[in-house]
Amino acid sequence: MAENVTPRVRVPKEATAGEVITIKTLISHPMESGQRKDKEGNLIPRSIINHFTCSFNGETVIEVAMEPAISTNPYFEFQAKVPESGTFTFTWIDDDGSTYEETKEIAVA
């Protein structure tokens, strides 16, 4: 069970209709790869975030299937089209079944 998992997301507060914006996301998580051994030589079991989704007003921007080769504190940068004012929803799914969610509002002037 990963502890202190904190998502951080950077989204502009405003955009013009149809504008393409850059989004950056980071979530603190050890991403235990399942390849490492402890001091006694026992394999430390895999425990990663295996899925990430960003959607806007219910429509998908990007979805990522993640493997243990994604670094500790998974970082993604990508671009989204903003057709209208609304809410970005970011969801991360952990191997242990936990989901972490963050939302960001954006206003179209």
Partner 1 sequence: AVMLGGRAAFATPTEELIAEFTGGAEITGEGLSLTAPEIAENGNTVPVEVEAPGAEAIMLLATGNPNPDVGVFHFGPLAGAQMASTRIRLAGTQEVVAIAKMSDGSFARAAQEVKVTIGGCGG
Positions in the binding site for partner 1 (CB under 8 A): 20-22, 33, 35-37, 55-56, 59-72, 74-81, 83
Q: Which residues contact 94 (CB under 8 A, 6 or more apart)?
A: 2, 5, 29, 47, 48, 49, 50, 100
Q: Tell me whether residue 1 or residue 20 sits nearer to partner 1 (CB atom).
A: 20
Output the smallest distance, CB 10 to partner 1, in A.
13
Output the smallest distance, CB 53 to partner 1, in A.
9
Structure-block tokens of residue 98: 């936990």
Q: Which amino acid is at 78?
A: F
Output the smallest distance, CB 33 to partner 1, in A.
7
34: left (phi over 0), alpha (psi -120 to 50) or beta: left
